[in-house]
Amino acid sequence: MQLIDKHLMETLIFLGPPIAISVILSLILAYFGNHILSRGIIFIDIAVAQVAALGTMIGLLLGFAEGSLTLELSSYVFTIIVIGIFAATKFTEQKVPQEAYIGIIYCLGLGLALLLAEKINGGSNFISKTITGNLLWTTWKDVLVSLAMFSVIGVIHILGQKSFRSISMNNSNNYSIRKARLYDMLFYMTFGIVIVKAVPIGGVFLVFILLIAPAASITLFTNNWKKRLVGSWILGSAGSITGILISHGLNISNGPAIVCLLGILTVALTFVVILRKEPQSIKK
């Protein structure tokens, strides 16, 4: 019994940082996910994440050390450029949906990253890490740094919550184009900072699934903004913690386990909603 308790305690100590960071990521990504879902730009996360990874690879080519501040800054530079393009083009008349440009930027970023990987030692491993992340090896330092950074971003969005929500819900008629663009730029810049920080920890796909799946699942049942935020965070946190525990118990990758768990849950909830709806009469 003592050996079991000791093993359980060691497991909890080892999994403490990954669980803590997954709850923090679930909170901040649930918030942004509901905004992204309302804006209808679903794949912006993957595009921004890929551009951030491209910026990191260019920094490596320039000789910046892996894990250094200069390397992280190179990611931010490329991310802010792309974020600026998204924000600047939102309030202009568009013949082509913005989602199309998001997809093009993602493909361009991935294509350039694959080409650059051939010029960097261990480039293919870096791309693999970008996809799968490094959640299991998160330290308490990573948790505290992320918490501090995301807290600052949280304060910014609390102060401007009315404006951010109005723009996301297409209720920005009371704002001038200039003011709406400024708020939109601030939204995208803070979103970009979150993505650049989150991707090395969780990987592109985990960050994307935490951003969209919980928000989409809860929106199936309610349009109330507060309920969507709270429900998304609870669902994302529960899915992440369960995925980490399952992956540890089965000795499989934690990121893909969480992605599969939340993805299957979202699809299952969608079918539940479809089956609950009464068949509507066909109009002639």
Q: What digits encode the pLDDT tens for the residues 23-32? A: 999 999 999 9
DSSP string covering 157-205, please?
Answer: HHHTHHHHHHHHTT--TTS-HHHHHHHHHHHHHHHHHHHHHHHHHH-HH
pLDDT confidence bin for 7, thresholds 50/70/90: low
CA–CA separation, 116 and 166 (whole Å): 41
Mean per-residue pLDDT for 226-252?
Answer: 92
> 267: part of which helix (H) or strand (E)?
helix 254-276
pLDDT confidence bin for 282, thresholds 50/70/90: very low
Give the distance, in angstroms, between the CA of residue 220 and the centroid of all CA atoms in the same chain. 20
**pLDDT computed for residue 283 by the predictor:** 42
Q: What are the two backbone dihedrals, phi and then psi, of residue 172, each rounded to the nearest 5 degrees?
A: -100, 20
Among 150-154, 169-173, 212-216, the least confident range: 169-173
- Read off the tokens for 60: 């490596």
Global pTM value: 0.85
Q: What is 2-271's CATH topology? A: ABC transporter involved in vitamin B12 uptake, BtuC (1.10.3470)
Q: What digits encode the pLDDT tens for the residues 126-142? A: 777 777 788 888 999 99
Residue with tokens 């079918």: 271
Q: Domain boundaries in the chain?
A: 2-271
Mean per-residue pLDDT for 71-97?
Answer: 75
Beta-carbon-side half-sphere exposure of residue 158 (alpha carbons within 13 Å): 7
